[in-house]
Structure 1
Amino acid sequence: MKGTTLMAVKVRIGTRGSRLALWQANYVVKRLRDCFPGHEFEITVIKTKGDKITDVALSKIGDKGLFTKEIEMALLREEIDIAVHSLKDLPTTLPEGIRLAAVLERENPLDVLLSFKGYSLSGLPRGARIGTSSLRRTAQLKRLRPDIETVNLRGNVETRIRKMEDEGLDGIVLAYAGVKRMGFLHLVTEILHPDQVIPAVGQGVIALEIKEDGKVAEELVKPLNHQPTWAEITAERAFLKAIEGGCQVPCGCHASYQEGYLTVDGLVASLDGQVVYRDRVSGSEAFAQQLGEELARRILAMGGGSLLETVRCMGD
Structure 2
Amino acid sequence: MNKTIRIGTRDSELALWQATTVQRKLENLGYKTELVPVKSTGDLVLDQPLYEMGITGIFTKTLDVAMLNGTVDIAVHSMKDVPTHLPKGIVQTAVLARATSTDILATKGSFTPEKPCTIATGSLRRKAQWLNRYPNHEVVDLRGNVNTRLQKLQNNDWQGAIFAKAGLERINVLPDNFENLDWMIPAPAQGAMVIVALEKDGFSKEATSKLNNTEADICTYIERAFLQKLEGGCTAPIGALAECIDGEIQFKGVLFSLDGQTKLEIAKQCPKNDYKDLGASCAKEVLDNGGKELMEVIKSEIEK
Q: TM-score higher than 0.5 here?
A: yes
5 Å matches for 1:11-22? 11-22=5-16
Unaligned runs of 5+ in 1: 1-6
The TM-score with structure 2 as length reference comes to 0.96
Q: Tell me if the contact between 1:239 and 1:295 (Cα under 8 Å) persists in the aligned partners.
A: yes
**Structure 2 CA distance, aligned partners of 1:276 and 1:181?**
32
Q: CA RMSD in A?
A: 1.4
Which of 182, 189, 208 does residue 202 from structure 1 map onto?
189
The one-letter amino acid paired with 1:30 is R
The TM-score with structure 1 as length reference comes to 0.93
Corresponding residue number in structure 2 for 1:298 = 285
5 Å matches for 1:75-154? 75-119=67-111, 123-154=112-143
Unaligned runs of 5+ in 2: none
Deviation at 1:188, TM superposition (A): 4.6
The one-letter amino acid paired with 1:72 is D
Corresponding residue number in structure 2 for 1:34 = 28
String of CA shifts for 1:109-138, please: whole Å, max 9, x gaps. 11011001232xxx3252201010111001
The sequence identity of aligned pairs, in percent, is 37
Helix, strand or coil at the partner of 2:23: helix
The one-letter amino acid paired with 1:33 is E
**Structure 1 CA distance, aligned partners of 2:122 and 2:190?**
15
Helix, strand or coil at the partner of 2:277: helix
Helix, strand or coil at the partner of 2:276: helix
The one-letter amino acid paired with 2:97 is E
Instruction: Rate the CA distance shift 1:313–1:209 in 2: closer, same or farther, 3 A.
Output: farther
Q: Tell me if the contact between 1:65 and 1:89 (Cα under 8 Å) persists in the aligned partners.
A: yes
Helix, strand or coil at the partner of 1:22: helix
Instruction: Rate the CA distance shift 1:132–1:88 in 2: closer, same or farther, 3 A.
Output: same
Q: Tell me if the contact between 1:157 and 1:182 (Cα under 8 Å) persists in the aligned partners.
A: no
**Structure 2 CA distance, aligned partners of 1:125 and 1:259?**
38
Corresponding residue number in structure 2 for 1:3 = none
Instruction: Rate the CA distance shift 1:44–1:313 in 2: closer, same or farther, 3 A.
Output: farther
Deviation at 1:313, TM superposition (A): 5.4
Which of 14, 31, 36 does residue 44 from structure 1 map onto?
36
The one-letter amino acid paired with 1:89 is D
5 Å matches for 1:227-242? 227-242=214-229
Aligned residues: 303
Moved over 4 A (4+): none
User: Aligned pair 1:54/2:41, yes or no?
Assistant: no
The one-letter amino acid paired with 2:73 is D
The one-letter amino acid paired with 2:13 is R
